Amino acid sequence: MREHTNTPRLQAWHGYLAALLAALACTFAGYAMQPRFDLVNIAMVYMLPVVGIALLSSRGAAIFSAALSVILFDVLFVPPVGVLNIEDAQYLLTFTVMLAVGLAISSLRERARLEETGRINHAIEAERERMRSTLLASISHDLRTPLSVMVGASSSLAEHGEQMPAAERSALALSVSRQAQAMAEQTEKVLQMTRFELGDLELHRDWNSVAEIAGPVLLRLREALAQHRLLTDIPGDLPLLRVDAPLIAQLIGNLLENAARHTPPGTVIQLGARKLEQFIEVTVEDNGPGLPEAALAGLFDRFREQRIGNTSGGVGLGLAICRTIVKLHGGEISASPRAGGGTRFTFTLPAEAAPQAPAEQESAQP
């Protein structure tokens, strides 16, 4: 978009220069032609730059070119030479014709340019529309399925609960509860992505440790990770980071959940962190089947899962939210094939010089 608004301005500036150079060129050509051609033909030569400038540059440059051509032609070729002869109606006509041609061409060109811009805007609008309908489709799928379960199971309970065996009743109730829980999580993700896109988010940074953020996440995801083998490698001496802890917790949680959801049971999932020069790097890797190269590109775009045929739930916002959180913190996130099979997600967070707590006076100990 930006290129399109800049281009005509550049051409306009160049247009005036081109008009000047073209008029000079015509003047030389005119002198060369003078012995053998009529004045009216020399006037035709002066018409050329007007047409050219009107085609290639702005309306202003075209008017400038027409005026310049008429003045030069009048002063240098129409007798008496060396005087601007404005009373001669003939040459006023010449000027009017040149101006009319210049304006006509540049307005035609303007119309074509507007149509082009309109076409581009239309394409952008269409893309936006496509995103919107993808979002709607995925949300309605993600909401309708659990809603169907909830309405069906709960109405069964309400209407036939008494005739059911107790185990049947609890199974139905549990499925209502699980679906509702999943729906609550999806809703939260959509709301959060919306807040991100509206720019309605302020980071609450304070000093935190990766280990302390990761602990509660692992506790919360105990059930989701129960089928996998979890390994952790977070050194105790990592420096503290100034981050928004709940967002980083969500980021780590999304990556772990993502790994658990897309790899078969028994897969090893490893959460690691290490200090680099100016960053702390956190990795979530698995030794699952891995992702094809094609799927790695655009992995952090919204609604990706829907596009590659999502069967495991989720509107595909999880990784997009991850990317936004990392960017907000001034870090980078990427996904790559893991050496030896599987996928490796890595994000970095800038490490500032971490402050120390004041030393304690141990003499206060009773």
Partner 1 sequence: MTDTRATILVVEDEPEIRRFLRSALGTEGYKVVEAGSVKRGAIDAASHKPDLAIVDLGLPDGEGIELIRQVRAWSPMPLIVLSARAGEAGKIAALDAGANDYVIKPFGIGELLARVRSALRGVVRPSGGGHTLKLGGTAIDLDARTASRDGTPIHLTPIEYRLLTCLARNTGMVVTQGQLLREVWGPAHESDTHYLRIYAKQLRDKLEPDPLQPRYLVTETGIGYRLFCD
Q: Which residues bind partner 1 (CB under 8 A)?
A: 177, 180-181, 184, 188, 191-192, 204, 206-209, 211-216, 218-219, 232, 234, 236, 240, 244-246, 249, 354-357, 360, 362, 364-366
Q: Which of 11, 115, 111 is nearest to 62 (CA)?
A: 11
For residues 159 and 360, which CB has a smaller minimum distance to partner 1 in the complex? Answer: 360
| Strand order across the beta sheet in which 343-350 lies | 229-233, 268-275, 279-286, 343-350, 333-337
Shortest distance (Å) from residue 331 CB to partner 1: 18
Shortest distance (Å) from residue 216 CB to partner 1: 5
Shortest distance (Å) from residue 166 CB to partner 1: 15
Shortest distance (Å) from residue 106 CB to partner 1: 56
**Distance between CA atoms of 51 and 64, rounded to whole angstroms?**
12
For residues 101 and 245, which CB has a smaller minimum distance to partner 1 in the complex? Answer: 245
Q: Is 50 helix (H, G, I), strand (E, B) or coil?
A: helix
For residues 60 and 215, which CB has a smaller minimum distance to partner 1 in the complex? Answer: 215
Tokens in use for 211? 């280990």
Q: Give the containing element (helix H, strand E) for 233.
A: strand 229-233
Shortest distance (Å) from residue 340 CB to partner 1: 25
Cα–Cα distances in angstroms (integers) from residue 33 to residues 43, 74, 90, in the given order: 11, 16, 20
For residues 8 and 161, which CB has a smaller minimum distance to partner 1 in the complex? Answer: 161
For residues 277 and 362, which CB has a smaller minimum distance to partner 1 in the complex? Answer: 362
User: What is the per-residue DSSP string for 157-181?
Assistant: HHHHGGGS-HHHHHHHHHHHHHHHH
Beta carbons of 286 and 362 less than 8 angstroms apart: no
Shortest distance (Å) from residue 266 CB to partner 1: 21
Q: Which 8-state DSSP code applies to residue 357?
A: P
For residues 132 and 204, which CB has a smaller minimum distance to partner 1 in the complex? Answer: 204
**Distance between CA atoms of 18 and 69, rounded to whole angstroms?**
13
In 98-210, where do the E strands start and end? Answer: 206-208
For residues 216 and 264, which CB has a smaller minimum distance to partner 1 in the complex? Answer: 216
Shortest distance (Å) from residue 221 CB to partner 1: 11
Q: Which of 346, 222, 209 is nearest to 272 (CA)?
A: 346
